[in-house]
Amino acid sequence: MLHKLTNRHKQTKTEQSKEEIELNNIPRHVAIIMDGNGRWANQRGLPRVAGHRAGMKVVKEITKAADEIGVKILTLYAFSTENWKRPREEVDYLMKLPQEYLATELDELNQRNVQVRLLGSEEGLPPHTLQAVKEAVEKTRHNTGLILNFALNYGSRSEIVQMVKTVAAKVQRHELSVDDIDEQLVSQFLQTRGLPDPDLLIRTKEIRLSNFMLWQLAYTELWFADVYWPDFTKKHFEEAIHDFQQRARRYGSI
């Protein structure tokens, strides 16, 4: 897409980014760590769960924006393996959000040809949570549009440990030899098998990876927004895409 002539000097950074997004250079896989929901609520004298609810509205907005701009895979870090350490009432609330989200959004996601996937361990998820997610995965299995990949009960180190155990057992059973083990084989034994690595990682508020897709993010462009997730907007998303397009990706070469 040709750049539109713009009066850049008069526009804000986010206004510039929207007009200058090249539709032929959209990151195929965008991953987002949606941080700061509890602190957003605390700042407003609200209970932490109000921040999670506000955060879910932003999930709907950004999922739509990603789909419209042509992102192929959107991975959202909804609940980490470390999140089980939070207060019981907060965890119980969080574990109800998948079914709440799907109850209102699944029909529209299906109409938009979106395929819902789960990244993470099913073990340990409450039955009501797992049932809602599995039903959404099944109902959207044949869709060929945006892959909406929810990282739920996900931790990268446990994913890597599980991969090592699986590969080691196959070597022990002589189903694999040590010489067969290379980066491609490792990727095939991770929970993200079949998906390309993220091209762009967006994170709100904190500048760290928090045990998220550590293997997969090896060559991913990182973009941080100094806002809490509930305050993240479509304009922030477009700015991240625009900045991604300004970076020449070298994958380690010069």
Ligand X SMILES: Cc1cc(N2CCCCCC2)n2ncc(-c3ccc(F)cc3)c2n1
Q: Given the residues 35, 67, 197, 199, select the one marked as catalytic.
A: 35
Q: Is 84 labelled as part of a ligand binding site?
A: yes
Backbone angles phi, psi at 138, to 5 degrees: -65, -45
Q: Kindly tell me which of 102 and 225 has the beta carbon lying closer to ligand X.
A: 102
Q: Tell me the C-alpha distance between 118 and 234, whole Å.
A: 24
Q: Kindly tell me which of 26 and 78 has the beta carbon lying closer to ligand X.
A: 78
Identify whether 35 is a catalytic site residue.
Answer: yes
Residue 125 interacts with ligand X (CB under 6 A)? no
Give me the residue whose beta carbon is nearest to ligand X. 55
Q: Tell me the C-alpha distance between 21 and 64, whole Å.
A: 16
Q: Kindly tell me which of 93 and 215 has the beta carbon lying closer to ligand X.
A: 93
User: What does the angle CA 129 – CA 78 – CA 100 come to, to the nearest 5 degrees?
Assistant: 45
Identify whether 107 is a catalytic site residue.
Answer: no
Paired strand residues for 203: 33, 224
Kind and range of the H or E run holding 183: helix 183-188
Footprint of ligand X on 145-174 (CB under 6 A): 150, 152
Distances (CA, A) of 161 to 14, 96, 191, 210: 41, 28, 11, 16
Could you list the residues that contact ligand X (CB under 6 A)? 34, 37, 52, 55-56, 59, 78-79, 94, 97-98, 101-102, 116, 133, 136, 150, 152, 229
Annotation: binding site for substrate? 36-40, 48, 52, 80-82, 84, 86, 203, 208-210
Q: Which residues are catalytic?
A: 35, 83
